[in-house]
Chain A
Amino acid sequence: MLLVHCPYCDETLPELEFTYGGEAHIARPENPADKTDDEWRDFLFIRTNVKGPHFERWRHAHGCGRFFNAVRDTVSDRFLTTYKADAPRPDLAVLLADASMKEPSK
């Protein structure tokens, strides 16, 4: 089971309290009428589905109820960070450097 840190409650809790909300930082089109079919396809259906660090949304459904964002490695399932919904997208290079510092030496 994943342990998820809610940045609002500032607590790390079992995954069962949370629901997954799909890829993060996908902005709704500002002028929907101007969008081409290709752009609609990309917005609605295309996802990075990255094998590695993934920017994604979670919701603390059985806690504070709020949406927040996370970066999780989809190979190890380990969270690199979680952050509030209105915080800017974190710099991946910095996150990865931090994570490798915390990695136990082999």
Chain B
Amino acid sequence: MTHFSALSLLKNALTGQKNWQAQWPDSQPKSEYDVVIVGAGGHGLGAAHYLAKEHGITNVAVIDKGWLGGGNTGRNTTIIRSNYLYDESAKLYDHAVDLWEGLSQDLNYNVMFSRRGVLMLAHNVHDVQSFQRHIHSNRLNGVDNRWLTPQEAKEFCPPLNISPNARYPVMGGALQMRAGTARHDAVAWGYARSASQRGVDIIQNCPVTAIRRGPDGSVEGVETAKGFIRAKKVAVSAAGHTSVVMDSAGVRMPLESYPLQALVSEPIKPIFPCVVMSNTVHAYISQSDKGELVIGSGTDQYTSYSQRGGLPLIEHTVAAICEIFPIFNRMRMLRKWGGIVDVTPDRSPILGTTPVPGLYVNCGWGTGGFKATPGAAHTLAWTIAKGTPHDINAPFTLDRFRTGRLIDEAAAAAVAH
């Protein structure tokens, strides 16, 4: 496999770009693996990479019903931040940000992680109090986050409308400077390339139809469109379809699947220096390196697997963006799309072991799991390799819905995020 470097770029430029190799082979399934991962999104592919790289487990297959990275990994607005309220969340998301910083080097693949800062706007007294509480709690946890006055927010993000009679007045904002964006496809591709280079099979266009359990209840393997594949360890990272897959193993999940939409504008010259989120009006915006404004919306109110979402959500979001950034009033939007996100009752993920021996899960990321990709994949690989929870993922058990030890980021933020 080619090692990407300035030298390899130059060499291939001189030979007319004709000698690049495929970055990973399109594998066909073997009859047995040590570990099968269901779902070739960032989380599944990442777990395969860390299993191979850090634990020497390479007899692994990552199976997807579609193409790799075609789920929420390739559909999200790529916001990365770690300013969550509770200690458990701060540790998990900050672990991810630590890994994001070295990911391009680790994978020899440019994931274009850009620490451009994420500014969360406060529009009312409740927002101000809640964000200031977040800032204090974050700082106690060593997570950077600070308060900006409306004027400071405007200096940081000049297109912002801070006029006192705005439809959504800006009363300040919380700024995490270490936060930013990354190139979503490159994350899936970089993990896929690295995992497959180390011997992992990536099997696309192959739906997993059921998880098979043996007489003692433990996992035996997965039924797929390409036949039965034996494996003593199976990990499910199927995002919006996780509860469907887990049902087949007899495990009922505290998950509901909702459409979440995003849209992009026509490309324009660089104008938007950071990421701005407004949880209260459900609008998120940044500018991609191609120049498009990338705008994220809220979830539809009803559960669905239609991967579409309703137009009223888009209208609402775009209307809010135009109020907060009047400069974008006459921008044209190019396309919109939806993904199906798996939402837990406390808006925290479910990560680790399950009641079924040999079955692991990494799900419940809802509207915000891209940012956690390296951190979650890294700790899940540890758990799969050792069969026990990792310090960081231990609180995020499925069992918390029985014991009541919820990590209630939903109540903390008052919205899905």
Docked Cα-Cα span, A16 to B302, in Å, equals 12
Give chain B nearest CB distance to A42 CB in angstroms: 8
Residues A77 and B312 in contact in the complex (CB < 8 Å), given A38-B402, A41-B401? no
Is residue A89 within 8 Å, beta carbon to beta carbon, of the partner chain? no
Scan residues 33-66 of chain A and give those whose CB is less than 8 A from a CB of chain B.
Answer: 37-38, 40-42, 44-47, 49, 51, 54, 56
Interface residues as binary, A73-95 with B (CB distance below 8 Å gives 1, 0 otherwise) = 01111000000000000000000
Residues A2 and B255 in contact in the complex (CB < 8 Å), given A19-B301, A37-B403, A49-B303? no
Give chain A nearest CB distance to B99 CB in angstroms: 30
Report how many residues on chain B are interfacial, defined by Cβ distance under 8 Å: 24
B256 touches A47 (CB 8 A): yes
Is residue A15 within 8 Å, beta carbon to beta carbon, of the partner chain? yes
Give chain A nearest CB distance to B404 CB in angstroms: 8
Residues A47 and B254 in contact in the complex (CB < 8 Å), given A16-B312, A38-B402? yes
Residue among B256, B302, B312 with the highest chain A CB neighbour number at 10 A = B302
Report how many residues on chain A are interfacial, defined by Cβ distance under 8 Å: 25
Give chain B nearest CB distance to A22 CB in angstroms: 8
A1 touches B306 (CB 8 A): no
Scan residues 295-324 of chain B and give those whose CB is less than 8 A from a CB of chain A.
Answer: 301-306, 308, 310-312
Residue of A nearest to B244 (CB): A51
Which of A19, A38, A74 makes the CB contact (< 8 A) with B306? A74
Interface residues as binary, A1-27 with B (CB distance below 8 Å gives 1, 0 otherwise) = 110000000000001100110100000
Which of A47, A51, A56 makes the CB contact (< 8 A) with B302? A56
Contacts of B243 in A (CB 8 A): 49
A2 touches B252 (CB 8 A): no
Contacts of B302 in A (CB 8 A): 2, 20, 56, 72, 77
Instruction: Point out residues on B near A: beta carbons under 8 Å.
Output: 241, 243-244, 252-257, 301-306, 308, 310-312, 345, 401-404
For the A-B complex with A1-B312, A49-B253, A74-B304 known, give 15 more contacts whose Cβ atoms are closer than 8 Å: A1-B310, A15-B310, A15-B312, A22-B256, A37-B403, A45-B345, A45-B401, A47-B256, A49-B255, A51-B257, A75-B304, A75-B306, A76-B306, A77-B302, A77-B306
